């Protein structure tokens, strides 16, 4: 249970004065809500950070005011000059003065009553905004603030500037932020006092205050102490949560799984190739994990085409040799089927009974699979997330392999697995995204990792070229020559239908165009097709009935057609590097020379150009991932924003890596000294976990 002291922060933002149903919708647009949260809460305002400040601290007398600058003036209202009747274009002016001069406050399309109320003749008002010279006179158009002397406090002398959305004004947001801060209770300090002192960091509430109600312009900077402190809080919460999941996972007694190697030998004998050194090494690590007394939680990281599937199959074979079952979960149906097809011949050779379960298996067929599964008549179940449905029961599952490709969201699933009903299920996560160490840490904590570094023998280098869209005709001529020699082409377009808002090349349009050029051998694959059509199209391409496959990014996940040797990617500049790398990995699998053509629309921005050049220069997934990180930041690489994986709200700061490493070490130390989180600091850290919504981890921990 979340401590009651935090409840005010997790109430709906509607609880704040001035925020009603309409504004809540705008806030929802504007604030980055964590996955699964549908209505903004007070806490979400706290993590909505300003991007800068407007400094209103200059309070000159009129004679000394510098035109073109932001000033706060203390003025006496002299006279209202409404526009002449029937002239809507003329502004409403209010002349004011101080001891040194006069100024006109100018309002266009003004509402007379409102101005009269705000600026009563003879009264004093504090007015803040940009002062201008108009001919000989001074004026200020639409002051940002007009307040009476009694309400002087409402005028923020250093006004934080927030990212906004149409219809939501900075003033409204500032008011809401102010209330949000007021609701922050005094919480026990969860950071070590030495560490805080060494870094010169303020307390939690003070840090929030200094960012949202800055006293110095530099307070609103992600390099400054308050922001760094909050970033560290967020990182520490994340690392602690991971460490808890992991501690929980490790202490759970796994069963010692060791097979006699009988099935593995048969599979290996049936393979038309020998395993690479990396594959053998990864398998040894997995086998050792399975034989150990703790549960396995391992990431198998290998570039596209590095041969992860066969490693997974052999790992699952260990479970079957030991008399148990295994599951292989893929992110999409296409990929699940592909796995089935890849695995089937070897499974058959080794006498393994496999079955497929996706959203498409329904009714009797599904029932029959479930029955066989429960009776232990299925050794390996392959499928999509349909495998996680409640009525899918194994007789005895010992290992779950999760093929993530590069669609992330693992974090949640790890937690799910870690607490799963089958308390001793070993977990192997496969990913094709070469994740740099720091990112790995932030998204998985300290996970055991096996890497497939070598590519299987016989892989040909892929010639990668950037091609401006203007040279499309020339590209098509070259493809024509290639096709006459038996080549096959993937042609990837980013969207399904032409949108009026964008000029993205639509797959459908391109398909029609290529058909005109090349005839009927051009297929189309996109997410809107029925599953059956997708399979048929894919199968036709694999059987070479289709020479060109126009596709949206549905093909990015793992399809394997060795004869395909040309990859054309339209609007390559709109893809992430990791995604481009994935797509390119679809070719270069057969005996033909392979090409990847990155079609782009000129002119290319500098970063976009650099990214595509990087693709031309190297096929090394790790280099590419690191470059991508450098050019675009971490969230993009992991597709975190799209996939709903946990992103950071405040932690993207300078010095991030150093803070992250410190947070990881801190978390490890905390749990080593206080595994029950019962010390005063431990108690405070629990609050931190709730504050950053790592409830799942706390729950785990309580169960332990
Ligand atoms: P990924 O790591 O992208 O999932 P796959 O497991 O789909 O890669 O393997 C890609 C292709 O490489 C498959 O056709 C597979 O049969 C083949 N392959 C896997 N291991 C080897 C190897 N050691 N030698 C040659 N080919 C291999
Ligand atoms: Mg694969």
Domain count for the chain: 4
* 66 and 40 in a common domain: no
pLDDT of 228 over the 60 cut? yes
Query: Which DSSP helix (H) or strand (E) runs through 451?
Result: strand 448-452
Q: Of 247-251, 386-390, 533-537, which has the strongest mean pLDDT?
A: 533-537
- Cα(307) to centroid(ligand 2), Å: 7
The pLDDT assigned to 554 comes to: 61
pLDDT of 587 over the 80 cut? yes
* 394 and 276 in a common domain: yes
Choice from 305, 313, 404, 405 to test ligand 1 binding pocket (greatest atom count within 8 A of CB): 305
263 within some domain? yes
Grouping H, G, I as helix, E, B as strand and the rest as coil, residue 346 is helix
> Of 185-199, 266-280, 402-416, 487-501, which gets the smallest average pLDDT?
402-416
169 within some domain? no
Domain boundary among 618, 653, 671: 618
CATH code where residue 119 lies: 2.40.50.140
Which one, of 256, 252, 257, 181, lies nearest residue 214 by Cα?
A: 181
For the Cβ of 560 lying below 6 angstroms from any atom of ligand 1, the answer is yes
> How far apart, in Å, are the Cα atoms of 37 and each of 410, 411, 444, 692, 693?
18, 17, 22, 13, 11
- Cα(461) to centroid(ligand 1), Å: 16
Give the closest residue (by CA) to ligand 1 atom 27.
Answer: 456
| DSSP label at residue 500 | T
- Cα(273) to centroid(ligand 1), Å: 9
Ligand 1 atom with the shortest distance to the CA of 342 = 16
The pLDDT assigned to 293 comes to: 82
Pick 34 or 558 by higher pLDDT.
34
Ligand 1 atom with the shortest distance to the CA of 338 = 7
The pLDDT assigned to 444 comes to: 60
* 612 and 474 in a common domain: yes
For the Cβ of 279 lying below 6 angstroms from any atom of ligand 1, the answer is yes
The pLDDT assigned to 165 comes to: 87
636 within some domain? no
- Cα(26) to centroid(ligand 2), Å: 41
pLDDT of 27 over the 80 cut? yes
Give the closest residue (by CA) to ligand 1 atom 19.
Answer: 307
The pLDDT assigned to 559 comes to: 66
Place of tokens 């009026």: 500
Give the closest residue (by CA) to ligand 1 atom 9.
Answer: 307
Give the closest residue (by CA) to ligand 1 atom 4.
Answer: 308
CB contact at 8 A, 94 and 115: yes
Choice from 301, 307, 336, 342 to test ligand 1 binding pocket (greatest atom count within 8 A of CB): 307
Helix boundaries (H) for 141-202: 170-182, 193-199
pLDDT of 248 over the 80 cut? no
pLDDT grade, residue 558 (50/70/90)? Answer: low
CA end-to-end span of the chain = 15
For the Cβ of 425 lying below 6 angstroms from any atom of ligand 1, the answer is no
* 318 and 307 in a common domain: yes
- 383-404 average pLDDT score: 84
For the Cβ of 275 lying below 6 angstroms from any atom of ligand 1, the answer is yes
> How far apart, in Å, are the Cα atoms of 586 and each of 87, 267, 451, 534, 558?
67, 25, 20, 17, 7
pLDDT grade, residue 660 (50/70/90)? Answer: confident
The Cα–Cα gap between 273 and 279 comes to 12
Output the six-digit token pair for 574: 């709109």
Average pLDDT, the chain: 85
The pLDDT assigned to 629 comes to: 64
The Cα–Cα gap between 177 and 31 comes to 12
167 within some domain? no
* 374 and 238 in a common domain: yes
> Of 135-149, 608-622, 690-704, which gets the smallest average pLDDT?
690-704
- 189-201 average pLDDT score: 95
Which one, of 206, 214, 184, 193, lies nearest residue 57 by Cα?
A: 214
94 within some domain? yes
Q: Give the rounded percent of residues in the chain with a pLDDT score beyond 70.
A: 86
Other CB atoms within a 10 A radius of the CB of residue 28 amount to: 16
195 within some domain? yes
162 within some domain? no
Angle at 636 between CA 632 and CA 638, to 5 degrees: 135
The pLDDT assigned to 640 comes to: 34
> Of 136-150, 526-540, 597-611, which gets the smallest average pLDDT?
526-540
- Cα(339) to centroid(ligand 2), Å: 8
- 69-94 average pLDDT score: 92
* 444 and 473 in a common domain: no
* 572 and 449 in a common domain: no
In which domain, by residue range, is 613 found?
462-618
- Cα(465) to centroid(ligand 1), Å: 25
pLDDT grade, residue 704 (50/70/90)? Answer: very low
* 316 and 367 in a common domain: yes
* CB contact burial 206-236 (16+ within 10 A = b; e otherwise): ebbbbbbbbeeeebbbbebbbbbbbbbbbbb
Choice from 278, 309, 432, 586 to test ligand 1 binding pocket (greatest atom count within 8 A of CB): 309
pLDDT of 413 over the 80 cut? no
Output the pTM of the full model. Answer: 0.60
Grouping H, G, I as helix, E, B as strand and the rest as coil, residue 392 is coil
For the Cβ of 304 lying below 6 angstroms from any atom of ligand 1, the answer is yes
Domain boundary among 618, 652, 682: 618
Q: What is the pLDDT of residues 430-479, one digit of tens each?
A: 887 666 666 666 656 656 888 888 888 777 789 999 999 999 999 999 99
> Of 278-292, 320-334, 541-555, 647-661, which gets the smallest average pLDDT?
647-661
Output the six-digit token pair for 208: 């929030």
* 482 and 441 in a common domain: no
**Burial class of residue 198, CB neighbours in 10 A (0-12, 13-18, 19+):** exposed
Pick 696 or 326 by higher pLDDT.
326
* 358 and 253 in a common domain: yes
The pLDDT assigned to 631 comes to: 63
The Cα–Cα gap between 565 and 489 comes to 6
pLDDT grade, residue 388 (50/70/90)? Answer: confident
pLDDT of 373 over the 70 cut? yes
For the Cβ of 579 lying below 6 angstroms from any atom of ligand 1, the answer is no
* 384 and 450 in a common domain: yes
Give the closest residue (by CA) to ligand 1 atom 25.
Answer: 456
The pLDDT assigned to 110 comes to: 82
The pLDDT assigned to 109 comes to: 87
CATH code where residue 257 lies: 3.40.50.300
Ligand 1 atom with the shortest distance to the CA of 585 = 3
> Of 214-223, 252-261, 392-401, 515-524, which gets the smallest average pLDDT?
252-261
Neighbour order of strands in the sheet with 145-147: 132-134, 137-141, 101-107, 92-98, 70-81, 124-130, 145-147
Grouping H, G, I as helix, E, B as strand and the rest as coil, residue 454 is coil
Phi, psi at 666, each rounded to 5°: -60, -50
For the Cβ of 306 lying below 6 angstroms from any atom of ligand 1, the answer is yes
**Ligand found nearest the CA of 542:** 1
The Cα–Cα gap between 51 and 24 comes to 21
- Cα(308) to centroid(ligand 1), Å: 7
- 580-594 average pLDDT score: 86
Pick 107 or 32 by higher pLDDT.
107
Which one, of 675, 610, 646, lies nearest residue 235 by Cα?
A: 646
- 613-630 average pLDDT score: 80
The pLDDT assigned to 58 comes to: 96
Angle at 141 between CA 138 and CA 146, to 5 degrees: 100
CB contact at 8 A, 597 and 567: yes
pLDDT of 325 over the 90 cut? yes
541 within some domain? yes
- Cα(346) to centroid(ligand 1), Å: 13
pLDDT grade, residue 277 (50/70/90)? Answer: very high
Q: Which residues place a Cβ less than 5 A from the ion ligand 2? A: 558
* 259 and 110 in a common domain: no
Domain boundary among 220, 242, 277: 220
Q: Give the rounded percent of residues in the chain with a pLDDT score beyond 90.
A: 53
Pick 264 or 459 by higher pLDDT.
264
pLDDT of 630 over the 90 cut? no
For the Cβ of 440 lying below 6 angstroms from any atom of ligand 1, the answer is no
């Amino acid at each position: 249970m979340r401590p009651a002291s935090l409840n005010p922060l997790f109430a709906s933002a509607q609880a704040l004065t001035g925020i009603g149903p309409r504004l809540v919708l705008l806030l929802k647009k504007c604030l980055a809500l964590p996955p699964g949260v549908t209505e903004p809460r007070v806490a979400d305002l706290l993590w909505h950070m300003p991007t800068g400040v407007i400094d209103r601290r200059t309070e000159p007398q009129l004679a000394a005011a510098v035109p073109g600058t932001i000033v706060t003036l203390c003025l006496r209202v002299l006279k209202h000059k409404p526009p002449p009747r029937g002239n809507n274009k003329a502004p409403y002016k209010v002349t004011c003065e101080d001891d040194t001069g006069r100024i006109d406050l100018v309002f266009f399309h003004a509402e007379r009553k409102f101005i009269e109320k705000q600026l009563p003749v003879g009264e004093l008002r504090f007015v803040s905004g940009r002062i201008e010279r108009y001919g000989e006179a001074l004026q200020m158009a639409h002051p940002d603030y007009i307040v009476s002397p009694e309400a002087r406090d409402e005028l923020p002398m250093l006004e934080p500037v927030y990212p906004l959305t149409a219809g939501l004004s900075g003033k409204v947001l500032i008011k809401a932020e102010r209330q949000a801060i007021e609701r922050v209770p005094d919480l026990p300090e969860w950071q070590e006092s030495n560490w805080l002192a060494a870094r010169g960091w303020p307390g939690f509430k003070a840090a929030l205050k200094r960012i949202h109600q800055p006293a110095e312009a530099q307070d609103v900077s992600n390099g400054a102490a308050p922001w760094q402190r909050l970033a560290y809080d967020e990182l520490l919460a994340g690392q602690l949560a991971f460490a808890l999941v992991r501690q929980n996972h490790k202490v759970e007694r796994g069963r010692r799984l060791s097979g006699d190697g009988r099935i593995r030998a048969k599979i290996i004998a049936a393979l038309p190739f020998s395993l690479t050194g990396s594959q053998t090494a990864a398998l040894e690590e997995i086998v050792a994990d399975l034989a150990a007394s703790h549960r396995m939680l391992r990431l198998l990281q290998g570039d596209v085409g590095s041969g992860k599937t066969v490693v997974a199959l052999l790992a699952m074979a260990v479970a079957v040799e030991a008399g148990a079952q295994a599951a292989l979960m893929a992110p999409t149906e296409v990929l699940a089927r592909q796995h089935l097809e890849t695995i089937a011949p070897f499974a058959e050779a080794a006498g393994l009974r496999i079955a497929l379960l996706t959203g498409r298996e329904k009714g009797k067929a599904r029932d029959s699979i479930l029955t066989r599964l429960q009776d232990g008549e299925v050794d390996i179940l392959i499928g999509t997330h349909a495998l996680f449905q409640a009525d899918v029961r194994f007789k005895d599952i010992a290992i779950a392999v999760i093929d993530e490709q590069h669609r992330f969201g693992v974090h949640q699933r790890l937690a799910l697995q870690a607490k799963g009903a089958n308390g001793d299920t070993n977990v192997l996560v496969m990913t094709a995204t070469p994740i740099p160490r720091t990112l790995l840490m932030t998204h998985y904590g300290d996970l055991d990792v096996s890497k497939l570094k070598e590519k299987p023998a016989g892989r040909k280098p892929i010639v990668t070229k950037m091609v401006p869209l203007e040279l499309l005709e020339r590209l098509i001529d070259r493809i024509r020559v290639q096709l006459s020699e038996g080549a096959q082409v993937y042609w990837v377009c980013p969207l399904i239908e032409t949108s009026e808002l964008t000029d993205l090349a639509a797959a459908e349009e391109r398909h029609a165009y290529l058909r005109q050029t090349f005839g009927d051998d051009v297929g189309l694959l996109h997410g809107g097709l029925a599953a059956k059509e997708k399979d048929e199209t894919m199968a036709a391409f694999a059987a070479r009935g289709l020479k060109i496959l126009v596709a949206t990014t549905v093909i990015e996940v793992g399809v394997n057609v060795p004869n395909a040797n040309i990859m054309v990617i339209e609007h390559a500049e709109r893809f992430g590097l990791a995604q481009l790398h994935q797509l390119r990995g679809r070719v270069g699998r057969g005996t033909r020379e392979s090409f990847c053509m990155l079609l782009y629309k000129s002119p290319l921005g500098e970063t976009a150009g650099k990214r595509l050049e990087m693709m031309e220069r190297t096929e090394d997934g790790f280099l590419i991932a690191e470059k991508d990180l450098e050019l675009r930041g971490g969230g993009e690489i992991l597709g975190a924003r799209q996939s709903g994986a946990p992103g950071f709200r405040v932690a993207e700061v300078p010095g991030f890596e150093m803070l992250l490493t410190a947070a990881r070490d801190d978390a490890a130390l905390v749990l080593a000294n206080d595994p029950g989180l019962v010390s005063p600091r431990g108690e405070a850290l629990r609050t931190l976990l709730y504050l950053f919504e790592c409830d799942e981890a706390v729950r785990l921990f309580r169960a332990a």
